Amino acid sequence: MTANSTKPHRPAVRLENLDKYYGTFHALRKVNLSVERGERIVVCGPSGSGKSTMIRCINRLEQHNGGKITVLGTELNDDVANIEGIRREVGMVFQHFNLFPHMTVMENCMIAPMIVRKRPRAEAEATARQYLQKVRIPEQAMKFPGQLSGGQQQRVAIARALCMRPQVMLFDEPTSALDPEMISEVLDVMVTLASEGMTMICVTHEMGFARRVADRVIFMDGGEIVEEAPPEEFFTASRNERTRQFLSQVLGH
């Protein structure tokens, strides 16, 4: 690799003046956000503020109506190959896990590397084992999703996304469908991932997690990014009234 200085500056994800409408409803209003490689972003905000919409636009699960999305230097457009190419590099973890119930844990993890990345079976299997190990459920490999607890299913979902060896990971409230005792097992995996330098954009209301790993916390309201600050500043010195109100609700005081 040559020196960094010769490379043009390329953030992992960049949103410029992003607009999104659902019919006439304006869900995202000129959102601007730039996420560096290796950066960990936590997105929070009240229900309906557009958090999911924003991160789902990044991998085209929602189509934006205005502005520009650039992922790893490539601008997202309507071209199918372009969209699939970006999805290959961007993993996503959903609130409701969304595992494939008719496939074993192992198959869930192998299917995309084999079909999308055209990896041979043996290699896909080794990769799957490696990541199942990493999310600490190697013993569940031959089970079906319906035979696992919620926390285990979410860890499989993380492993499934990681098996594609993505460069960016999106999390949409990965712990909010879980019973309290399972939340930490999923957060632990996410902390490990963060410590290894993965670029992460996490929509979550787990403020402890935000304090521990986030480089920046983003607060959204009414389809706009209202505040953007490093966690210590965000939690202690927020100047914005809406942010303070929201924080007092989620932190419970």
Ligand X SMILES: Nc1ncnc2c1ncn2[C@@H]1O[C@H](COP(=O)(O)OP(=O)(O)OP(=O)(O)O)[C@@H](O)[C@H]1O
Which residues form the interface with ligand X (CB under 6 A)?
A: 22, 25, 27, 45, 47-53
Report the SS3 class of residue 74.
Answer: strand
Residue from 32, 63, 77, 98 in contact with another protein (CB under 8 A)? 98
Q: Which of 29, 129, 143, 165 binds another protein (CB under 8 A)?
A: 143
Within positions 56 to 85, which residues make up the interface with another protein, using CB under 8 A?
59, 61, 80, 84-85
Smaller CB distance to ligand X: residue 53 or 243?
Answer: 53
- Give dist(CA 128, CA 104) in Å, integer: 12
- Contact between 161 and another protein by CB under 8 A: the answer reads yes
Question: Using an 8 Å Cβ cutoff, are 99 and 160 in contact?
Answer: yes
**22 sits near another protein (criterion: CB under 8 A):** no
**Residue 198, H or E segment:** none
What burial class does residue 165 get, using C-beta atoms within 10 Å of its C-beta: 0-12 exposed, 13-18 middle, 19+ buried?
Answer: middle
**Alpha-carbon dihedral angle through residues 197, 200, 205, 209, given to the nearest 10 degrees:** 0
Which stretches of the chain bind another protein, using CB under 8 A?
59, 61, 80, 84-85, 87-88, 90-92, 94, 96-102, 107, 110-112, 114-116, 118, 120-121, 143-148, 150, 153, 157, 160-161, 164
